Structure 1
Amino acid sequence: MGPLEPDLIELILGLLCFLLVFVILAKILLPRIGKTLAEREVLTEGRLELAEEVRLEAERVRAEYQAELSAARHKALGIRQSAREEGAALLAGVRAEAQKVREELVAASAAQLEAERVIAEAELREGVLALATELAGRIVGEPLTDVERNRVIADAFFADVDAGADTAK
């Protein structure tokens, strides 16, 4: 007997053992394995559906977030623009007020300078009149006491000087 000529009893015994293992596998183990695989497939499908629902919900939330973010950016842009416009208006108002104050100060200063010039000119004319009267008295050799006449002569002289200054301009 060799491997090519097996013993008939051993062959039948091997065949019976094979059929017994096949029946046990087919009737007991394979249905259990099939049932377990089916349960896993149902669980996997359920989780896939749940995952798809979660993904769709996440996309919806993301779209809402993007819309809110866009609206917030638009609102911030509007706020910045209105702040710029308000700042420009305030700046223009402040500049106008400052210009008005400056013009008032310049006008007040010019009036004050003119008043001081008139006062200084009057004081200078009085001083020149006194010096001229004293000098004329020295030249003549006697004091000139007619103050009113001296004032009329001096006023006529200053009027001629002012007229010459006005024509020179």
Structure 2
Amino acid sequence: MFLAAEGSHNPILPIWQELVVGTIAFALLVFVLLKFVMPRMETMYQARVDAIEGGLKRAEAAQAEANQLLEQYRAQLAEVRTEAARIRDDARADAEGIRQDILAKAREESDRIIAAGKEQLVAERTTIVRELRTEVGTLAVDLAGKIVGESLADEARRAGTVDRFLNGLESAGAR
């Protein structure tokens, strides 16, 4: 029967029995897909979306935390730099103060040494002048005694003669 029917059948129009069986099979396939496969696919799709969105949220949170830590680091770095600058300035000020103290002590010591040297020079000059007066006086008395021909052994006479002689020398040197 199919052989005879096949020969007379129009190839453009499908056989209606095949259409019914195909429609039932398609409907059954759609039902199985909608009932069993699609919910599982939807669950997997939602899990994947949640994982991606969760990953994005975690990445955003991590980025925000990293930015916050970066800002804290920058603030701490600025604070440390400010503190270091303050410490440097304090050290410079302390060094300048120490330098000034050392210079002041050195000036005081220098002034003290110069004053002691001047005092020593004055004392030595006084001693030398006294020794020279005595020596010059003795020589003058001896020479005067030889010139005058009398002995100037008397101490009062000798002192008067020496003083007159030295005063004469000083007045001659002052001119």
TM norm structure 1: 0.71
Question: How far apart are the structure 1 equivalents of 2:169 and 2:152?
Answer: 23
- Could you tell me which of 101, 105, 109 is aligned with 1:93? 101
Within 5 Å, give how 1:1-169 maps onto structure 2: 32-138=40-146, 144-167=152-175
Gapped regions of structure 1 (runs ≥ 5)? none
Gapped regions of structure 2 (runs ≥ 5)? 1-10
Count, aligned residues: 155
Deviations 1:115-154 (A, max 9, x none): 1111111112211222333344455667543443233222
Q: Which amino acid aligns with 1:156?
A: R
Question: How far apart are the structure 1 equivalents of 2:142 and 2:48?
Answer: 135
Distance 1:166 1:100, change over 3 A: farther
Distance 1:147 1:95, change over 3 A: same
Question: How far apart are the structure 2 equivalents of 1:45 and 1:53?
Answer: 12
**2:141–2:152 CA contact under 8 A, matched in 1:** yes
Q: Which amino acid aligns with 1:151?
A: A
**Structure 1 residue 42: deviation in Å?**
1.3
Determine the structure 1 residue equivalent to 2:8: none
The structure with higher relative contact order (CA 8 Å, sep 6+) is 2
Look up the SS of the partner of 1:145 in the other structure: coil
Determine the structure 1 residue equivalent to 2:5: none
Distance 1:64 1:154, change over 3 A: same
TM norm structure 2: 0.69
Deviations 1:33-82 (A, max 9, x none): 45323322210110110110011011111111111211121122122212
Q: Which amino acid aligns with 1:149?
A: R
**Structure 1 residue 27: deviation in Å?**
6.4
| Structure exhibiting the larger radius of gyration computed from Cα positions | 2
**2:141–2:161 CA contact under 8 A, matched in 1:** no
Look up the SS of the partner of 1:102 in the other structure: helix
Question: How far apart are the structure 2 equivalents of 1:75 and 1:116?
Answer: 60
Q: Which stretch of structure 1 is more off in the superposition, 54-63 or 145-154?
A: 145-154
Alpha-carbon RMSD: 3.2
Look up the SS of the partner of 2:153 in the other structure: coil
